[in-house]
């Protein structure tokens, strides 16, 4: 991307976002709603969003929290093996995808799946394939923390083979092993966060511990980050931007027992523009990564928000209503200059 000092992104999409609920939702929703046209909203509330009534009510609360912003929440349900075709048909118009968590693997995932028995999952996953509802997956085992994602690849392969018509999105991939799997199976897709394109484990724990960079999956090795960067920068058609922006109150992060999650929503697009420019990747590829690929994969047509960014230093605030963002109080190279619709 030439350093033209101004870049316009059309209809940016965040295909993996935590908006939370209650006061937190009201505080942080606008950070995403301002700059993105739409986002896939994660269902890991307490209790998880797992019925039609809950998803409809949660969408209402989100729309009320974003006020006048032109932003579409693409809703998801928390996967349960007991979902049957009649239920999925009844809820299909309210959701864009269903999110599967392995039991207990991350924040509020206790009610997730254990065992990954294909026959147990078959009725729900076949119905989803028939109804063309994508399955988003948090792909980690409960093994050694650095190996969890690579170990999960065999489960992705099992699911991709058993359900060839099911669109499976490998969420927030962090390893070369996942990038390799993506290339091997037609029905595997992936989201990548901006923080996993920028940091490795060294940034989290190589020096003084950085709680605001601690997330799940944990950032991995330099060669993993390189593999992620390569497919993001080339605008690989099976890869979408998904921030996994996951706010927690400052006291829950700066604590003994730090909550997992990096809050990037207010600076994600600025960081992506800087990253693509630094790596000489084309604006066309960035546009594919932040919108075009997701439109093709999910078959969605978002509202046409245009975000104009300029190369002008932006000092990231220390916090957004009690939530500390990535790079708090540091300068990043790009700022948002103007947002238009049309
Ligand atoms: O770091 C994370 N935070 N990873 C997840 O999978 C969940 C998320 C959250 O909800 O806080
Ligand atoms: Zn997440």
CB atoms closer than 10 angstroms to residue 236: 20
Spacing, Cα 16 to ligand 2 middle (Å) = 6
β-bridge mates for residue 190, sequence order: 170, 239
- Cα–Cα distances in angstroms (integers) from residue 95 to residues 49, 75, 79, 202, 315, in the given order: 11, 5, 12, 38, 37
DSSP H or E run through 287: helix 283-287
- Cα–Cα distances in angstroms (integers) from residue 45 to residues 49, 115, 236, 260, in the given order: 6, 23, 32, 15
Protein residues near ligand 2, an ion, with CB under 5 A:
244
Query: Which pLDDT score, from 0 to 100, does residue 295 have?
Result: 98
State pTM to two decimals: 0.98
Nearest ligand 1 atom to the CA of 101 is 6
Query: Which pLDDT score, from 0 to 100, does residue 2 have?
Result: 61
Query: Which pLDDT score, from 0 to 100, does residue 259 have?
Result: 97
pLDDT tens, residue by residue, 108-161: 888 899 999 999 999 999 999 999 999 999 999 999 999 999 999 999 999 999
Ligand nearest to the CA of 108: 1
As a three-state string, the secondary structure of 28-91 is HHHHHHHHCCEEEECCCCCCCCCCHHHHHHHHHHHHHHHCCCCCEEECEEECCCCCCHHHHHHH
Query: Which pLDDT score, from 0 to 100, does residue 3 have?
Result: 60
User: Among the CATH numbers 2.40.50.140, 3.40.50.620, 3.30.450.20, 3.20.20.140, which is that of 6-341?
Assistant: 3.20.20.140
By C-alpha distance, which of 307, 274, 278, 310 is closest to 291?
A: 307
State the DSSP code for 153: H
Sign of CA dihedral 14, 337, 61, 38: negative
Nearest ligand 1 atom to the CA of 248 is 11
Query: Which pLDDT score, from 0 to 100, does residue 140 have?
Result: 97
Shortest-distance Cα residue to atom 3 of ligand 1:
261
Per-residue pLDDT of the chain (342 residues; tens, 9 = 90+): 766 689 999 999 999 999 999 999 999 999 999 999 999 999 999 999 999 999 999 999 999 999 999 999 999 999 999 999 999 999 999 999 999 999 998 888 888 999 999 999 999 999 999 999 999 999 999 999 999 999 999 999 999 999 999 999 999 999 999 999 999 999 999 999 999 999 999 999 999 999 999 999 999 999 999 999 999 999 999 999 999 999 999 999 999 999 999 999 999 999 999 999 999 999 999 999 999 999 999 999 999 999 999 999 999 999 999 999 999 999 999 999 999 987
Residue carrying structure tokens 């978002």:
302
CB atoms closer than 10 angstroms to residue 51: 15
Indicate whether residue 138 lines ligand 1 (CB < 6 A): yes
Q: How far apart are the first and last CA of the chain?
A: 25
Dump strand ranges (E) for 61-187.
72-74, 76-78, 97-100, 135-137, 168-170
Indicate whether residue 193 lines ligand 1 (CB < 6 A): no
Residues marked active site are found at 244
Indicate whether residue 253 lines ligand 1 (CB < 6 A): no
**How is the chain split into domains, by residue range?**
6-341
């Amino acid at each position: 991307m030439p350093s033209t000092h101004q870049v316009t992104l059309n209809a940016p999409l965040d295909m993996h976002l935590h908006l939370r609920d209650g006061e937190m939702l009201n505080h942080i929703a606008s950070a995403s709603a301002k700059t993105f046209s739409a986002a896939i909203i994660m269902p890991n509330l307490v209790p998880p969003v797992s019925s039609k009534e809950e998803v409809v009510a949660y969408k209402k609360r989100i729309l009320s929290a974003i006020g006048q912003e032109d932003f579409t929440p693409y809703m998801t349900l928390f996967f349960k093996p007991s979902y049957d075709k009649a239920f999925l048909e009844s809820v299909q118009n309210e959701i864009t995808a269903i999110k599967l968590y392995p039991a207990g693997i991350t924040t509020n995932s206790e009610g997730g799946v254990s065992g990954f028995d294909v026959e147990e999952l078959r009725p729900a996953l076949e119905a989803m394939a028939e109804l063309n509802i994508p399955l988003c997956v948090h792909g980690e085992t409960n093994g050694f923390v650095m190996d969890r994602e690579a170990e999960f690849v065999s489960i992705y392969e099992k699911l991709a083979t058993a359900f060839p018509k099911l669109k499976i999105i490998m969420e927030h991939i962090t390893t070369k092993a996942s990038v390799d799997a993506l290339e091997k199976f037609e029905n595997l897709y992936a989201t990548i966060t901006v923080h996993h394109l920028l940091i490795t484990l060294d940034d989290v724990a190589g020096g003084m511990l950085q709680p605001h960079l601690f997330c799940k999956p944990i950032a991995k090795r330099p060669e993993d980050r390189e593999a992620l960067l390569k497919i993001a920068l080339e605008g690989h058609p099976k890869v979408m931007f998904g921030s996994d922006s996951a706010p927690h109150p400052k006291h829950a992060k700066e604590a003994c027992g730090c909550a997992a999650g990096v809050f990037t929503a207010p600076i994600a697009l600025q960081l992506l523009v800087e990253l693509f420019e630094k790596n000489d990747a084309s604006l066309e590829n960035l546009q594919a990564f932040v919108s075009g690929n997701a439109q093709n994969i999910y078959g969605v047509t978002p509202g046409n928000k245009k975000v104009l960014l300029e190369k002008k230093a932006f000092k990231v605030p220390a916090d957004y209503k009690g939530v500390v963002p990535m790079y708090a109080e540091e300068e990043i190279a790009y700022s948002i200059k103007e947002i238009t619709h049309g």
